[in-house]
Amino acid sequence: MRALLSIVLTLVSLPAFSSYTKIANNGSDLPASAVLGSGATQWACTRDNATGLVWEVKTADGVLRDWDKTYTNYDDSSQNQKWNGSVGVKPTQAEINAASNSIGFVNAVNATSLCGSAAWRMPSKHELLGLMNIAYMPTIDPVFFPNTPPSGFWTGSSGATGYLDSVLLIYFDDGFVHGYNRFDEASVRLVSAGQSIETTASAVEYYHAGFGHYFVTGAADEAAAIDSGAIKGWTRTGQTYSVYSQGGAGLAPVCRFFSTSFSPKSSHFYTPSPAECSSVKTNPNWQFESNAFYVKEPVGGACVSGAAPLYRIYNNGHSGAPNHRYTTCTSIRDNMISRGWVSEGVAMCVPGGSADCATDNSGGVNYNAAPAATPPAMPAITPRRERSALLTAPPTAQRDRRRSASVPSDCRRAC
């Protein structure tokens, strides 16, 4: 069984490898052997071939894009975003446009037409998280993103609304997403040329009768491997739904985790929530595999018009290992609840729901009619609004080292 689990892990991890292309200062594609430089045909940017996003590459030359430069993140001269040592005050327009502030840096890079673009901007939290790869330290591919400090990078996404206007900061040492005040200083990596076309793929659901577990994949090659018998034990339930295969504006990457900590059973877990994804990454029982696909996040537990709600149901540890099922069908959701599973609400919003909610070839286990198995050593992942204490928050020491001792604690908040 251990050998089988090892094979499964290897096969399902294959899609995790990202595809990047080096881009020259003049915007032309380069071979992977290209080196950084300021010449027109030398490497300066990297394109994510999955999303179409083009990213600036940090240098080590002490000038405009040097890796060691940090910035404040003021963007509104009418708001109290600056700290004068005792109270919040409004930044001046000159301070907003300064080279030491994020907007000043954006303006300076756009003035150079870096990699043939004058549309550089701050990335969203989802876009920046798409570069995260915990196989490395710092947590980003060092071949295509050299000179990356293991520290916090500003996003253009707002955090909790507060006294001095919180903005989300993503750390490339532990993968955590935090809300920080705009007067703090952090690194910046700019992005350009986002892909706007929403490309969809089919997510296929499988069931393992021996485990009593469900699994879903949006990767056609992985589904083919399962269907061919290369990955044994799994059969199609007959349920599919649409997901986005590429990132884009308003789309969130879905973090995919794998666990063999409940041997002989294995399990997967999926979440589009940056906070939940960051928390699960700290749990030693779960291994981050990749961004499985892309979805829209629910707002207030509901999806925007045109998107189908994807419900998440939890087996409450009854199988001896945590497992979740994801479905767009309320009839399947309600049937699972009647069997002893626990509803966790709308987890994601997808472009298309199941075409046949009456088909479910899984059979499923009725936990209300069977004795509960010995609970797992670790409770399952709980909904983002009621996360388990086992999804450990960063140690106090980690939080404290990111705080400036000169600023009152009521001016800081983490998301």
- What pLDDT sits at residue 92? 95
Across residues 22-45, what is the average pLDDT?
93
Helix (H, G, I), strand (E, B) or coil at 267: strand
CA 153 to chain CA mean position, Å? 15
Across residues 131-137, what is the average pLDDT?
88
More confident residue, 140 or 376: 140
Q: Assess contact for 259 and 285: CB atoms under 8 A.
A: yes
Domain boundaries, the chain: 18-192, 196-386
Burial of 347 (0-12, 13-18, 19+ CB in 10 A): buried
Q: Assess contact for 284 and 333: CB atoms under 8 A.
A: no
- What pLDDT sits at residue 390? 26
Distance CA 179, CA 159 (A): 5
Q: Assess contact for 323 and 362: CB atoms under 8 A.
A: no
Extract the tokens encoding 275: 């906070």
pLDDT band at 159 (very low <50, low <70, confident <90, very high): low
One-letter amino acid identity for 159? G
pLDDT at 267 over 90: yes
- What pLDDT sits at residue 367? 66
Name 164's Cβ contacts closer than 8 Å, sequence gap at least 6. 80, 81, 82, 83, 88, 181, 182, 183, 411
Query: CA 302, 305, 311: angle at the middle one, nearest 5?
Result: 35
Q: Are strands 287-295 and 324-327 parallel, antiparallel or unpaired?
A: unpaired
Question: What are the backbone angles phi and psi of residue 305, rounded to the nearest 5°?
Answer: -60, 135
pLDDT tens digits, one per residue of 213-259: 999 999 998 999 999 999 999 999 999 999 988 776 678 889 999 99
Which 3-state string (H, E, C) describes 62-123? CCCCECCCCEECCCCCCCCCEECCCCEECCCHHHHCCCCEHHHHHHHHHHCCHHHCCCCECC
Q: Is the pTM of this model over 0.75?
A: no
The position carrying tokens 């040592």 is 85
- What pLDDT sits at residue 60? 96
pLDDT tens digits, one per residue of 378-398: 334 443 333 222 222 232 333
